[in-house]
Chain A
Amino acid sequence: MSSRAERDSRPALRPAGAGMTELRVDRIACTGHGVCASVLPHHFELDEWGYPIVTDPAVPAADGTTAIRLCPARALYRT
């Protein structure tokens, strides 16, 4: 649960365009399941060990939500 201080000092969401959102990977939480690359193949690729390479962080908002929800490690978040 984010505190008031966290919410107040979070930078305003600036999507790349309408209906877009920016995703980041929490690299410590990420254990390389690859769900992000499956849900958003034009935005994530996987290296030889299965960890994501972010090719385009600006993703359609709905797909972004799906990827965040389905990541088994809860390693995706919006900036």
Chain B
Amino acid sequence: MNELLWYTSRATGTASIVLLTGVVILGATISGRGARSRDGATIVTALHRWLSLGMTVFLLLHVATAVVETYVSIDLVSAVFPFTSGYEPLWVGLGTLAFDLFVAVMVTSMLRQRISDRGWRFVHWAAYLMWPLAILHGFILGTADEPLLRLTTVACAVAGGAAIVWRSGVTHHDTDRRRHVAAQEWS
């Protein structure tokens, strides 16, 4: 049973990082205007939201099985408070931190119409910290003896990294014009 839990944790962890990478790529595509058409923008936005909800299941399973199984010492507290686990506190802690950020992003996004736009935006930007933490956590902890899992994590790192590099270099007429005018005297 314990072994089943351990393997389930690794499997759901891998599924989580794959789906999370997808969510991040979709999110970067929207903000970077990669969709190129109104229908494309709608589909990418809807997929981004839908996938983020779907991966929550895998992520919760991943955390739950990691806590319940007794092979390694990870208790419920360390699932929320980073760097407090008995097992590999640093690398588990990165995962915990990523999980905390994920919860913050999800909650603020579900409350988006009710909270200030600045607040939502500030938390959402933390996704660019959350994702590399999750990648690192997964790469170090979950893939040591499993080349297929390692390859999957590396592929996610490359794909997500490429999307982020693209996003940081992309330009759009709306952003450019706003920046250009905002630099004038307005105060």
Chain A residues packing against B (C-beta within 8 Å):
1-2, 29, 31-35, 37-39, 46, 49-50, 68-70, 72, 74
Contacts and interface: CB of A to CB of B under 8 A. Distances in A.
Given A31-B174, A33-B38, A46-B38, A72 B112 contact: no
Q: Is the interface of B mostly helix, strand, loop or mixed?
A: helix
A39 B174 contact: no
Given A74-B112, A74-B113, A74-B117, A33 B173 contact: no
Contacts, number: 48
A49 B38 CA distance: 12
Given A39-B42, A70-B46, A29 B117 contact: yes
Q: Is the interface of A mostly helix, strand, loop or mixed?
A: loop
Interface string B110-138: 00111101001000000000000000000
B86 to A, nearest CB: 40
A77 to B, nearest CB: 8
Contacts of A37: 38
B91 to A, nearest CB: 34
Contact of A35 (B45, B120, B175): B45
Given A29-B117, A70-B45, 17 more contacts: A31-B172, A33-B30, A34-B37, A35-B42, A35-B45, A38-B41, A39-B42, A46-B38, A68-B113, A69-B49, A70-B42, A70-B49, A72-B31, A72-B45, A74-B112, A74-B113, A74-B117
Given A49-B173, A70-B46, A72-B30, A33 B41 contact: yes
Interface centre among B41, B117, B120, B172 (most CB of A within 10 A): B41
